[in-house]
């Protein structure tokens, strides 16, 4: 091949498939990087969904949460789907299906089986000292 990127790997893959392969590699890298909890410490609260992503309970929980975009953004909450590595890191039972709330300080704040109403999560967060300080600071500005 005479393509400028032709090297030991690229010569074996048709160029038409290269974009797909590179995109896949990029997405896998982002997913693994996203699971590093320390990256989000002091910036975001994390809501991690654990369980079979094809079950009705998992899908319902995800749907309930994604409807609350403004409330999630206001509280700096990011939603992730947990994997086995993260399950081990958080020392969860392999059969656990539910949500884990990680605070901005990196600590586990809440662990509850599916389905949890978003309002209950927001109420719990709003009662936390760090969130109360955020609300006070927002009112001052």
pLDDT for res 10: 47
Of the ranges 13-22, 68-77, 107-116, which one carries the lowest mean pLDDT score? 13-22
CA gap 57, 35 in Å, rounded: 22
Residues 101 and 47: beta-carbon distance below 8 Å: yes
| In a shared domain, residues 79 and 136 | yes
The parent domain of residue 90 ranges over: 40-140
* Numbers of helices and strands, H then E, in the chain: 6, 4
Please tell me whether residues 90 and 118 are part of one structural domain: yes
The 3-state DSSP class for residue 111 equals strand
23 and 62 in a common domain: no
Kindly state whether residues 93 and 47 are assigned to the same domain: yes
Nearest alpha carbon to residue 99 among 129, 128, 71, 125: 125
pLDDT digits (tens, 9 = 90+) for 66-109: 999 999 999 999 999 998 888 888 899 999 999 999 999 999 99
Q: Are residues 66 and 110 in the same domain?
A: yes
The answer to whether residues 40 and 78 touch, using CB atoms and an 8 Å cutoff, is yes
Considering its fold, how many domains does the chain have in total?
2
Residues 53 and 16 in one domain: no
24 and 76 both lie in a single domain = no
Residues 83 and 120 in one domain: yes
């Amino acid at each position: 091949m005479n393509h400028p990127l032709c090297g030991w790997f690229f010569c074996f893959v048709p160029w038409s498939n290269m974009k797909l392969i590179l995109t896949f590699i990029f997405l896998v890298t982002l997913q693994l990087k996203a699971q590093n909890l320390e990256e989000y410490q002091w910036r975001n609260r994390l809501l991690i969904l654990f369980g079979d992503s094809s079950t009705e309970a998992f899908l319902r929980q995800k749907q309930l949460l994604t409807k609350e975009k403004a409330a999630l953004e206001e509280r700096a909450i990011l939603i992730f789907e947990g994997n086995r590595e993260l399950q081990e890191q958080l020392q969860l039972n392999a059969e656990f299906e539910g949500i884990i709330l990680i605070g901005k300080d990196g600590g586990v704040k809440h662990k509850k089986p599916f389905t949890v109403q978003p309002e209950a999560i927001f109420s719990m967060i709003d009662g936390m000292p760090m969130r109360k300080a955020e609300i006070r600071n927002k009112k001052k500005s």
